[in-house]
Amino acid sequence: MNKRHFLQATAALAAAMTFGSVHAQTPIRFQLDWRFEGPAALFLHPAAKGYFRDAGLNVTIDSGNGSGGTVTRVASGTYDMGFADLAALMEFHANNPDAPNKPVAVMMVYNNTPAAVLALKKSGIKTPADLNGKKLGAPVFDAGRKAFPIFEKANNVSGVTWTSMDPPLRETMLVRGDIDAITGFSFTSLLNLEARGVKPEDVVIMPYADHGVKLYGNVIIATPKLIQENPAAITAFLKAFAKGAKEVMANPTMGIESVKARDGIINVALETRRLQLAIDSVIASPDARREGFGQINPGRLSLMASQVSDAFGTRTRVDPAAVWNGAMLPPAADLNILPPAKR
């Protein structure tokens, strides 16, 4: 190779490396809805495997402290994307109609809300009708509590009174008998009850999805700024996420390794069970299989918008068209990630 060709090759290599590094530096600040628990593997695994990096993204993932906080921080621009309950996103939109940067849902992950009513069998509560006149407990911001009027209406429940507490006390108060039942995410509260010495067979679980309440659960959200300026980055993120999520659902035990890498004190067996429960109950649910992973049914979305407007008493009505944008979803082949249905 002569000197001129050498210089040309060197310049081409430098240009390629520069382009690659610029491409790889598209930053995405991402916040989860909750702590580094089992379901966080869906995001932490593709990050650990380098799938986001390979897609040209520099993704940082932080834990959260509730969907409401995640929505607010994405709205403020502190985070570019996040993982949050769709009802919380709807509530933010309808209560802050003039907010300049209302986040938008770009992928459905929990096709059904994980919200459920849980009681102990010894209470005699077996069905929603048994909740009439009972004392229920949950934190004021709990998704199940806020959506309870929808559950109440669907199941003709009345006369319920509420006790509020901090999240760590919810299951403790149920075990002590201070309250008759609780609302919470099924895969969180069940395991929390077990940790307090309750056997699974002694718990009654009434998932909202099985009792006439077809609310969607958690979605991936993004800022309007990112949607407008770099929709390709969102598509790249969703494609890398789907690739990692498919591997996690096929092998939850492997997926938990990425969670342990971020929080070394987790109970691996417990979080593996939590992840599997989430997969079975809200991610690979019958509704998700009908609608397709990542996607929504417009009629169901509109019904939820109306139900949330009523149950949450929002300042304005929720506009379903404003909270969802599926235009950045990767191709259908990349969304075919759900594990085989269990028989």
| Residues 27-36, mean pLDDT to the nearest whole number | 96
| pLDDT the model gives residue 9 | 47
DSSP 214: -
| pLDDT the model gives residue 343 | 74
Tens-digit pLDDT profile for residues 33-59:
999 999 999 999 999 999 999 999 999
Q: pLDDT category, 15, cuts 50, 70, 90? A: very low
Tens-digit pLDDT profile for residues 289-326:
999 999 999 999 999 999 999 999 999 999 999 999 99
| pLDDT the model gives residue 339 | 95
| Residues 186-214, mean pLDDT to the nearest whole number | 95
Domain 3-111+216-335 in CATH 3.40.190.10 = yes
Contact 312, 142 (CB under 8 A): no
Q: pLDDT category, 7, cuts 50, 70, 90? A: very low
Residue 306: Cβ within 10 Å count: 13
| Residues 63-90, mean pLDDT to the nearest whole number | 96
Q: How would CATH label the architecture of 115-210?
A: 3-Layer(aba) Sandwich (3.40)
pLDDT of 208 > 70? The answer is: yes
User: Between vectors from CA 331 to CA 328 and to CA 332, what angle results, nearest 5°?
Assistant: 120
pLDDT of 13 > 50? The answer is: no
Q: Is the pTM of this model over 0.85?
A: yes
Residue with tokens 């307090």: 196
**H helices present in 198-251, as ranges:** 224-229, 231-250
Q: Are strands 218-222 and 104-108 parallel, antiparallel or unpaired?
A: antiparallel
Contact 327, 231 (CB under 8 A): yes
DSSP 124: T
Rg (CA), the chain: 22
| Residues 238-245, mean pLDDT to the nearest whole number | 98
pLDDT of 11 > 90? The answer is: no
Domain with CATH 3.40.190.10 in the chain: 3-111+216-335, 115-210
Tens-digit pLDDT profile for residues 119-160:
999 999 999 999 999 999 999 988 899 999 999 999 999 999
| pLDDT the model gives residue 14 | 43
Percent of the chain's residues with pLDDT above 70: 93
Coil, strand or helix at 2: coil
Contact 103, 82 (CB under 8 A): yes
